[in-house]
Each structure stands twice: as structure tokens, then as C-alpha cells.
Structure 1
């Protein structure tokens, strides 16, 4: 069921919703992570997004990575589940997002060459010099990635 969240929003307006999402980490050889500049909030987040009705976390992350970054990715390993993601969007929508985070590797596609309806820009950032992020959950995810890389 495509556009599931849009249909729910038409029914409930801006009331707080609990939503499920999936995000992926692509890192370069310097352990810099790929982030996308969002069109809705004009800050940075991990490529990823909400699950559609009936979709798995794995499938959503792969689909959303292609939409947000232009890359076909393969899951390397899950890195965690994050359930303290509270966001109020500029349009008034309020959410608590439960997100599954994955380490992924590109296996095809190309990073987007121009802006889309969801992504203004894509850049790699060092984990110790991040731009303004979407929310605390995004920061928590990136802290988990930093810990993961420090253990390697």
C-alpha cells in the first residue's frame, strides 16, 4: 500500500503518530558517513524513511536508500533499534519514530546528481564534524556508528 502515511495523515491530521522507519549507513574509507540534506526540514539525516504498510525494515531501507541517495545497497549488518525519535516537522506533523539502523554497502546505482523532492544534497561527513541534524535520534544513530567504528 503505497502512500500509507499520507493516507493516515489525511485521517488524523497533525496528531502524534508512532511510525516505523529504517535507515542505512554508508561510510567511505575514512569512516565518513553519507548524509542527505532534506527538503522538508533543511537539515541533514541518514538516507532512509518510513515503512509502507506490509513492508519489512530491510525492504524499506533498501527502497528508501535508492530514493534518498540514488544507491542500490546491500545490508552488511543491523546496528540497532532506536525508539526515542521525536520529531515535529515544519508542516505540523508530530511523530515518535522507531528506527532500525543498518550498516550497508553500495552495490549499484550512483549518488544523486541533482535535487529530488526529498533530497537537496548528499555529502560525506566525518563523525566528529557533523552538520545540523534532523533530530536527536539521528545523533544517537551516528554515535552508535562512531562506537562501532572505534571497536574495529
Structure 2
């Protein structure tokens, strides 16, 4: 996050195009792991912005560990999102270019999450009503994850 903080120190709240990665960890019952965000109290998929020099996959692994306390690996790119615009509560404006992955759990070890980013994590059934999301991008990711699970349930159950 130091990269973005340094950048914001120079440009203030001006609109930026930033790259990010996030993931859907779907269990055999069709529930997906989400994080309750500390900044807004809304729900979202674990993930975040790239640090300089990182790949999408490296960002995804790091952010999942920071946001959800879990070690994961990307399995499949589900969607590249680039059409959303968002203004954070502090006034920062972004157009995030997000790589949204299906992920698999590598370790059941719990790592400490960043309390400034995550209040808690919870699983939500993809067959149910989605929670209140952080922004439209996360709502779109819910639809992608739900549709993927419906079409590929047998693969996830293995």
C-alpha cells in the first residue's frame, strides 16, 4: 500500500487507473468467502491493488493472506474488469482494472489479517441473496462467481 500512498501524496484525489486482483474461494456447498471491509462496513471479495513489480497472481496471493488470513492459489481467471469507476469515502477516485480469479485453498493455517482493512470474513451461499457490496465491481464479481458455480459445480466438488 506504500506505493499507492506515495502516489496519492503527489496527485491527491485525482482519478487514477489502478490494477488489482481479487478472488472467489468457493466451497463444495456453493458458498463463497467474503470480507467485511473496515473502511466502509460493506462486503467484498478478498483482494486489492498491486504493488509495483507484482503480477496479478502475486497480488492475489498477498491480498488474500492480508484480507482473509488464508493462503490460496489462483486456479482460473474468471474475468478482467475495467469499466467501473469508484470514489472512496476519503475522495480518492479510481478506475480499477481488476483480475478476478477462482482460487483454491492451499493451507488451513490462519494468518493475521490487517485490522485496518478487514473486520471479519464470512461465507455466503451463492444461491442466496448477496450481501451489501462495497461497489458495483464486487456485485458483478458475485454474479460471475455464481454463474461459474452453476456451470462448473462438478469440478468444484472434486
TM-score (norm 1): 0.93
**Structure 1: tracts of 5 or more residues without a match:** none
How far apart are the structure 2 equivalents of 1:116 and 1:71? 15
How far apart are the structure 2 equivalents of 1:101 and 1:126? 18
The aligned counterpart of 2:129 is 129
Alignment partner of 1:25 is 2:24: yes
How far is the alpha carbon of 1:112 from its aligned partner? 6.2
The aligned counterpart of 2:148 is 148
How far apart are the structure 1 equivalents of 2:100 and 2:134? 15
Pairs within 5 Å for 1:71-82: 71-82=70-81
How far is the alpha carbon of 1:85 from its aligned partner? 2.4
How far apart are the structure 2 equivalents of 1:122 and 1:111? 12
How far apart are the structure 1 equivalents of 2:143 and 2:47? 17
How far is the alpha carbon of 1:150 from its aligned partner? 1.4
Q: Is the 8 A contact 2:33 2:123 kept in 1?
A: yes
Q: 1:133 to 1:112 in 2, by over 3 A?
A: farther
> Across the two proteins, how many residue pairs are aligned to each other?
151
How far apart are the structure 2 equivalents of 1:111 and 1:144? 27
Q: Is the 8 A contact 1:40 1:89 kept in 2?
A: no
Alignment partner of 1:66 is 2:43: no
Q: 1:110 to 1:131 in 2, by over 3 A?
A: farther
The aligned counterpart of 1:104 is 103
The aligned counterpart of 1:138 is 138
**Structure 2: tracts of 5 or more residues without a match:** 153-158
CA-to-partner distance for each residue in 1:44-83, whole Å, 9 max, x for gaps? 1100000011111000000000000000001111111011
How far apart are the structure 2 equivalents of 1:85 and 1:121? 25
How far is the alpha carbon of 1:110 from its aligned partner? 3.7
CA-to-partner distance for each residue in 1:117-148, whole Å, 9 max, x for gaps? 11001000122321110111111111111111
